[in-house]
Homo-oligomer: A and B are copies of this chain.
Amino acid sequence: MSGRSGTGTRLMAGRNAVILLSGGLDSATVLAMARQQGFGVYAMSFAYGQRHAHELDCARRLALQPGVIHHSVVNIDLRGIGGSALTTTQEVPKDRNLDQEQAIPVTYVPARNTIFLSFALAWAEVLEVSDLFIGVNALDYSGYPDCRPEYLSAFERMANLATRRAVEGAPLTLHAPLLNLTKADIIRQGLVLGVDYGLTTSCYDPGPEGKPCGHCDACLLRARGFAQVGVPDPLMVRYGSVTA
Contact = CB atoms under 8 A, between A and B. Distances in A.
A79 B126 CA distance: 11
A163 to B, nearest CB: 6
Contacts of A161: 145-146, 148, 150-151, 154
Interface residues of A, number: 43
Given A145-B167, A154-B157, A167-B104, A111 B80 contact: no
Interface string A63-93: 0000000001011111011110000000000
Contact of A121 (B76, B104, B114, B150): B114
A81 B126 contact: yes
B122 A115 contact: yes
Contacts of A151: 158, 161-162
A114 B124 CA distance: 13
Contacts of A104: 164, 167-168
A106 to B, nearest CB: 10
A226 interface: no
Nearest to A145: B167
Given A76-B76, A104-B167, A115-B118, A83 B126 contact: yes
A183 B110 CA distance: 35
- Which among A78, A81, A151 has the highest number of chain B CB atoms within 10 Å? A81
Interface in A95-110: 104, 108-110
A82 B81 CA distance: 25
A36 to B, nearest CB: 27
Given A74-B77, A83-B126, A111 B163 contact: yes
Given A76-B76, A115-B122, 10 more contacts: A75-B77, A83-B122, A110-B121, A111-B118, A111-B119, A111-B121, A114-B162, A151-B161, A154-B157, A154-B161
Interface of A: 72, 74-78, 80-83, 104, 108-115, 118-119, 121-123, 125-126, 145-146, 148, 150-151, 154-155, 157-159, 161-164, 166-168
17 contacts: A81-B126, A83-B126, A104-B164, A104-B167, A104-B168, A110-B122, A110-B163, A115-B115, A145-B161, A145-B167, A146-B162, A150-B161, A151-B161, A154-B158, A154-B162, A155-B162, A158-B158
